[in-house]
Chain A
Amino acid sequence: MKRRSFLAASAAATLPIACRRKPEFPFQGALVGPDLPMGHWLRGGAFPDPERFEPVSVLVVGGGVAGLSAAWRLVGAGLDDVRVLELEPEPGGTSRSGRNHVSAFPWAAHYLPVPDRGNHAVLRLLDECGVLEGFDAKGDPRFAEEATVRAPEERLFAHGQWWEGLYLRAGASAEDERQYHAFFQEVDRWAAFRDAKGRPAFSIPRSRCSDAPEARALDGLSFAAWLDARGFSSPRLRWLLDYACRDDYGSRLDTTSAWAGLFYFAARKQGPGEDSRPLLTWPQGNGFLIEHLRQACGTRLNCGVMATAIRQEKDGLLVTAWDAVAQRRIGWRAKHVIFAGPQHVAKHVIDGFAAARPAAARIHNAPWMVANLTLRARPQEPTFPPAWDNVLRDSEALGYVVATHQSLHDYGPTVWTWYRPFTGPDCEAERARLRALDWPACARMVMDDLRPAHPDLEGLVARLDVMRWGHAMVRPAPGLIWDPDFLALSRPFGAIHFAHTELSGFALFEEAQDHGLRAAEEVLAGLGHPTSSWR
């Protein structure tokens, strides 16, 4: 009896060892920010006031592209009394980047189309960053060779091999080719469009776009419906356009406004019949630009600080915040607040906002998963050589960008940034799905996705880190972009000004920057600060 119970006990003791499975992957990794619990803590409501409210002229809530750009503008106007609060430990929002012993790498946004000569704000920023080299004889800007995406830019994996470019020409029928050219003729037609005031239908940022009825009408239907109506049925063409929607908007042909679908192509044309503008990129993606904006902000940027409540009082705006670093409650009394966070956060933070601005509920953000794979060495590549952007045709994901492509390291270890938007029609359901994924499930998703193109990848991965973005990109659903109530969300709410790419209806660096500058210039005007626009 005794002996038997001893045996049973020792069996029980060894059980956990026996059950400890061999790790599923020969590499390690982790789920990294954004700080979901801290963000969601906001919804708990009811925070007591801090002991004192520090006076400040302008408080910028949110240290993403919009918030940093607003601060950049304010500081550029000579206004010193500015504070920027960022909830995450690092600024940048969806332009954040990381760095390890191999390379810097993006955590989300990773390129900027070359701006045209009329996009003064982006040109100013690129000039400050040393990327703008000057202007050519025609007056068009010239950019540093090392910042322009290095060739080959894109390749596509299909039929078991890699092909140059994103549009699969191999095996295309005459009808496929005809539709491809017809679509881009349509794009050219829109690129050439000018309204009575001489404004183009599509330009970046969208504040330069025409609001002529014929252009706005495009927002009334989905991109899929627009394509159907014109007989664009080629599967190759539709794959390319669907890819563009997933890539830039986190949505599909049938959940994207036709206006946004055409904007993607027409706004990037150098001119009718010409190529799309080249792209600017850096190993850390748009983190390069963030680094510059962060330096411009200097010590005015406070990271790890979450604004929990903003309310209007007689003598200014009272802002309550939680300093996660010092673990204490702090407060500011601001003349103006630039709220540079998303609208779904505004309703939890700004007193009276939810009731006053119901249109905010029309904004839906697609969740994204981004993985950074650190590779010890590169896989064998028998077909078209590695490009900057490497896309798998038969995949829900968008492929991967090679961080070392731009830094010219062609041999040895590298970092790949893999992107997957969750494009199902219900963002809330997609978000719940993403939230439920633990690290092994995420890693499995990444490896399963890449295996067809790189069967030998698993042994080369040293580390795989995953970022789950709950609200990565606003979706330009049909009817949103030109909706007057939606557009009115950009207007100030008392002395609170709004800046976020969401307010454009789609997520682009240039849009975030434009809203940041607009909000900052509203504030400068409100403070009676003489200035001319940077926009």
Chain B
Amino acid sequence: MNADRMSSVANSFSEPASPQPTLKAPLLFISVLLIASCGLIYELVAGTLSSYLLGDSVTQFSTVIGVYLSAMGLGSWLSKFLQRGLARRFVDLELAVALVGGCSAPILFQAFAHTHAFRVVLYGVVMAVGTLVGLEIPILMRILKDQVRFKDLIASVLTLDYVGALFASILFPLLFMPKLGLVRTSLLFGLLNASVGLWSTYLLQSQLGPTRLIRLRCLAVMALLAVGLGFAGKFTLAMEEEIFADEIVYAKDSAYQRIVLTRGRGSFQLFLNGNLQFSSADEYRYHEALVHPAFGLRPDAKRVLICGGGDGLAVREVLKHPSVQEIVLVDLDPAMTDMARRQPMVRQLNGASLDDPRVKIINADAMVWLQETSGPPFDMAYVDFPDPNTYALGKLYTARFYRLLQRRLTDDAMITVQSTSPLMARQSFWCIAATMEAAGLKVRPYHLAVPSFGVWGFALASRRDFDVPTRVLPGLRHLSDEATAAMFAFPKDMDRVPTEVNRLDNQVLVHLYAREWRRWS
């Protein structure tokens, strides 16, 4: 410790006394190019990430760039207070940028998922990276000032700074984002920053004194970032990026589930606990099929209950029916309904349906809500839960659930239940229908193709006998009168199979479902 400080003092005294004619100026200019690219990448990462997570990209990019540039200004101003041991300070600076900038994307994702102070963290990180980056160029110029004439120095440094920025701004959207994603890109450029640090220990060796410790530090930072990069698969978000194949634009651990939004190939997708809930490319097929056949039979329905469906997409379809006066949406997770109301991509997709004055959102476990509350009856019910892959979800497909549901409906109300794939999980699909029948319902199942899910099925039910609907609202994207009637025909490989009834005390559906889907995963 003491010896270290002594050497640093000795070093700083020696610097101005002996200008170094042996500095490798042209090679140092390459460092300028690299650090300029890194600096811009961090800025782009922060801007992209915040506009994905918070929406409103104009505001996000403007504020991130503004904070970043002003922080760079702050850094440049602060550089004058660094007087001695500039070479050493430069290496340290590179390592600091490498760490803060390199880890910025993982830090920000985690902050968004686990804290309520995302903006504080965002602008804090942007400020820190900007300040550090702002220090880089002035210090490098001061190191080079005795080697190169001032006019050449300023020309070269600024040229390379701007060229580096150009590289970064072109490669970021075309190469790094699609191939690596935000987390890996930021870690990779952190690594690049650290290697500039290491490389500088050779270029600036003559100014550094003993370099062993400094290089060790460089190697330690590089190792840390490399481990982060290499083990990115272990890291939740990076792992999810691998699973989801597309860029994660929103991720949140709510009290109930993990909500992830990804974007890629011209569409975006919602995942709950890793299970796809919809893709914006073909969700209209799913939601039109969920909502409109029942309305074909009850075109005058006024009060509509939706259990699940917190994404607001079923609500969007229901609102197309002018008879509807009130929609009660019961979804477990306030984080989900909040996201559907606020996240710009989702809000655009659902047409801000959840903010319609006719819509009342209740955040509760639908089964507990049905069991413990009462109110005027509904004349239409949609049951749109995730597939029954846990016991907590399985209970929402039991005879008891359908009995509780009927207590809240008018005698001739229609019920539509999303009931997984009749092709991939044939027994599960028919188990749901059999369970609804055991609860005293007449059931007519139907199916259609939803490319991102596969062949998907629903069960249309009522306490009274009813015929297959043959009319739907005109002007839909997928459903026509003919297509609606056709959905109710089951080809041989999806036709009814005998199954047990799913009850609270056996939960057979959870076991069936797990067994059937295992074959496809």
Q: Which residues of A contact B (CB under 8 A)?
A: 145-146, 148-153, 278, 385, 407-412
Contacts and interface: CB of A to CB of B under 8 A. Distances in A.
21 contacts: A145-B398, A145-B403, A145-B504, A146-B504, A148-B503, A148-B504, A150-B507, A151-B505, A152-B391, A278-B505, A407-B371, A408-B365, A408-B368, A408-B504, A409-B365, A409-B368, A410-B395, A411-B255, A411-B256, A411-B332, A411-B392
B392 A145 contact: no
A412 B390 CA distance: 17
A318 B435 CA distance: 60
B400 A145 contact: yes
A497 B71 CA distance: 91
Contacts, number: 50
B36 interface: no
Contacts of B398: 145
Nearest to A410: B392
Contacts of B510: 151
B367 interface: yes
A149 B365 contact: no
A408 B404 CA distance: 13
Contacts of B390: 385
Contacts of A149: 505
B291 interface: no
Interface of B: 255-256, 332, 365, 367-368, 371, 390-392, 395, 398-400, 403, 503-507, 510
A152 B400 contact: no
A325 B113 CA distance: 56
Contact of B505 (A148, A407, A412): A148
The 8 closest A-B pairs by CB, nearest first: A151-B507, A148-B505, A410-B392, A150-B504, A145-B400, A145-B504, A145-B503, A408-B367
Nearest to B255: A411
Contacts of A145: 398-400, 403, 503-505
A152 B392 CA distance: 10
Given A145-B503, A145-B504, A411-B256, A151 B391 contact: yes
Contacts of B395: 150, 408, 410
A152 B510 CA distance: 11
A410 B371 CA distance: 14
A152 B255 CA distance: 22
Contact of B391 (A148, A385, A411): A385
A151 B332 CA distance: 21
A410 B368 CA distance: 9
* Residue with the greatest number of chain B CB neighbours at <10 A, chosen from A153, A385, A410, A412: A410
A149 B256 CA distance: 24
B400 A410 contact: no
Contact of A151 (B255, B400, B403, B506): B506
B505 A410 contact: no
Contacts of B392: 385, 410-411
Nearest to A148: B505
A151 B507 CA distance: 6
B164 to A, nearest CB: 46
B195 to A, nearest CB: 39
Given A145-B399, A408-B395, A151 B504 contact: yes
B504 A410 contact: no
A151 B505 CA distance: 5
Contacts of A152: 391, 507
Nearest to B438: A145
Given A151-B506, A411-B365, A146 B400 contact: yes
Nearest to A278: B505
Nearest to B396: A408
* Residue with the greatest number of chain A CB neighbours at <10 A, chosen from B255, B391, B505: B505
A409 B255 CA distance: 14
A521 B403 CA distance: 40
B234 to A, nearest CB: 16
